[in-house]
Structure 1
Amino acid sequence: MSIKTLGFIGLGTMGEPMCRHLAQKSGFKVIIYDRQTEPLQRLSALGVEACETIDLMAQTADIIFLALPSGIQVEDVCNNHILPNARAGQIVVDLGTSPVTLTHALAERFQAKGARYADAPIARTRQAAQEGRLSVMVGCDAETYATLQPLLSCFASDVTHCGNVGAGQVVKILNNMVLVETVVALSEAITIARRAGVDGEMLFKTLMKGSADSFALRNHGMKSVLPENFPERAFSTDYARKDISYALALGEQFGVPLPGARTADKILASASEKGLGEYYWPVISKVIATDAA
């Protein structure tokens, strides 16, 4: 496949740094679209060109990356803008977390137009996006993966081919399910420790030396739960619950009850009901502490 132009839609907290790395390292022309003007202006300094409409991008770009909040936006953008303009050989890549059923359906629609669709959801933190150290879980055929891997490596230190279309979403959804359940456990642990007169920082640092050590502990625990740092404009409680809903859907599809995920979903729902839906999702630790009062 001859690649001349890359398109990137969605320049939010994660999308903007990913696009920046892509523009700086890929060697290809990059065109962008977002409703907000600020990231467009910042990226224009790198020679990136803003596109007036998604339809125009679909007519121009050979590979289009989508960094959108949820499957709702992905479905809208694809069905109403990209698919009507899709052409043979074009590749559309969903970098967000979307339902597996939607991923399969969109792949079939693009295939009918001679185009290809890949799911490549990202994992890790906002800082990792800034530093180009994301993890990407890819679902597509081997030929498409060979084309995408060098491009994804522009903003990721780990790119894993998980299988055919949909496999990347399955792995990412399960990644987020395990992560949220782990933060629930950390939140419960620090609540008990503090009530027992045990220092929370000492607890977490000691857990890091033992079998309870994890990425969640070193990042979400130490950097958010312990200092009670839950900023807005980070991955929110509402977004986390969206991802848990995708895990629960998989559990229902394959007959797995997922009691841990259901507990996490209830805590996330409680956080949203308490007005914390827009805050960084480890804020559930405050809910766990409050509900235990």
Structure 2
Amino acid sequence: MTDKKSVVIGFIGLGVMGGAMCRNMALKHDGDVVAYDMNSEAFGILEDTKARRLETVAEVAAVADYVFLSLPGGPQVEQVCLGSGGLTAADRRPATIVDLSTTTVASARAVAEKLAGLGVAFADAPVARTREAAQRGELSIMVGASTDVYSRVKPMLDYIASDVTHCGEVGCGQVVKLINNALVFENTMALAEMMVLGKRAGVEPEVLLDAVSKGSGDSFVLRNHGRKAMLPRTFPEKAFPPEYVLKDISYVLELASQSGLSAHVTELAQRYYTSTAKEGWSGRYFPAVIEIIDQDIGPAKAST
């Protein structure tokens, strides 16, 4: 990578995770950082940093060498990268685009192929861990990119992550991230069921979690979603809701279908989180799935 002070970083998407990531880049990068988000209120997190607010995606493309995206999904990534007024609409384009969002594998590879035809490198680099980890700059990032592109973007990913893994070529980052997310969603569902079972069988949930955490049943989900959300039954808004879970699960099931795998456990999780969204917990933190289990509502019927 060239001299850090001469490299301009652009950041698009200042949501719960994106805002924290952009803030860390602005605090740690020696050169300029510019940012864009459709929501003007999202820039509040950057007020005490050197990050400069721009008014359009096109303005970001006009000055940034590397552009990082943190967007809701594949359609938004494609529009920002390739659409009218997007990052490649004008003659001046960023050298490299790094997508930190979670999208389909097919979408990541299709966008990368189109960008390559325009002379722009691409890496899919979805992130894992919590909002607090994003604030601390301690995310885990799974990168799909050529070795050359990975070596160039790795120093900038280190601004926002404590663990960065090169998973393979473009698309492989999304493969690993989708599997990671599916494991979290399914583990959360299983833990919720066992917490309800333990309580009905006479063991208080706090005692159960404490005991299990000292054995082979311990997990990140237990220590975080179990202790911090399901134990106190606290499911705030503006966290990761069941609707986001269902988006990611749909991506996993699409990948499974394309790969010739019948993902029955993931299909069951899809039905449980569909019930969570439909039965009063829409927009709330997804470990609210425990309420569906505790109320004996059960999974939604499988679609036919």
| Aligned-pair CA distance for 1:100 | 0.5
Among 12, 16, 24, the residue aligned to 1:13: 16
- Whichever residue aligns with residue 84 of structure 1, its letter is A
| Aligned-pair CA distance for 1:72 | 2.3
| Aligned-pair CA distance for 1:82 | 1.6
Classify the secondary structure of the residue corresponding to 2:167: strand
Q: How does 1:1-293 map to 2 (within 5 A)?
A: 1-2=1-2, 4-80=7-83, 81-85=86-90, 90-291=95-296
- Whichever residue aligns with residue 192 of structure 1, its letter is L
User: For the Cα contact (< 8 Å) 2:66–2:97, is it kept in 1?
Assistant: yes
- Whichever residue aligns with residue 63 of structure 2, its letter is T
User: For the Cα contact (< 8 Å) 1:89–1:114, is it kept in 2?
Assistant: no
RMSD: 1.5
Give, in whole Å, the separation in 1 of the partners of 2:54 and 2:94: 21
Q: For 1:82-111, what per-residue CA distance to the aligned partner results, in whole angstroms no more than 9, with x for missing partners?
A: 232375771111101000111000000110
User: For the Cα contact (< 8 Å) 1:87–1:114, is it kept in 2?
Assistant: no
User: For the Cα contact (< 8 Å) 1:44–1:50, is it kept in 2?
Assistant: no
- Whichever residue aligns with residue 52 of structure 2, its letter is E
- Whichever residue aligns with residue 276 of structure 2, its letter is A
Moved over 6 A (4+): none
Give, in whole Å, the separation in 2 of the partners of 1:10 and 1:63: 14
Give, in whole Å, the separation in 2 of the partners of 1:61 and 1:280: 35
Give the share of equivalent positions with the same residue, in percent: 43
Classify the secondary structure of the residue corresponding to 1:220: helix
User: For the Cα contact (< 8 Å) 2:67–2:98, is it kept in 1?
Assistant: yes
- Whichever residue aligns with residue 91 of structure 1, its letter is T
- Whichever residue aligns with residue 209 of structure 1, its letter is K
Per mean C-alpha deviation after superposition, the further-off stretch among 100-109 and 71-80 is: 71-80
Q: For 1:218-263, what per-residue CA distance to the aligned partner results, in whole angstroms no more than 9, with x for missing partners?
A: 1111111111111111111101111111111111011111111001
| Aligned-pair CA distance for 1:212 | 0.8
- Whichever residue aligns with residue 174 of structure 2, its letter is Q
Change (3 A) 1:262 1:280: same
Classify the secondary structure of the residue corresponding to 2:233: coil
- Whichever residue aligns with residue 168 of structure 1, its letter is G
| Aligned-pair CA distance for 1:27 | 1.2
User: For the Cα contact (< 8 Å) 2:20–2:45, is it kept in 1?
Assistant: no
Classify the secondary structure of the residue corresponding to 1:150: helix
Per mean C-alpha deviation after superposition, the further-off stretch among 74-83 and 237-246 is: 74-83
Unaligned runs of 5+ in 1: none
| Aligned-pair CA distance for 1:139 | 0.4
Give, in whole Å, the separation in 1 of the partners of 2:145 and 2:160: 19
TM-score by length of 2: 0.93
Give, in whole Å, the separation in 1 of the partners of 2:175 and 2:92: 27
Q: For 1:54-104, what per-residue CA distance to the aligned partner results, in whole angstroms no more than 9, with x for missing partners?
A: 011112211110011111221221221123237577111110100011100
| Aligned-pair CA distance for 1:272 | 1.2
TM-score by length of 1: 0.96
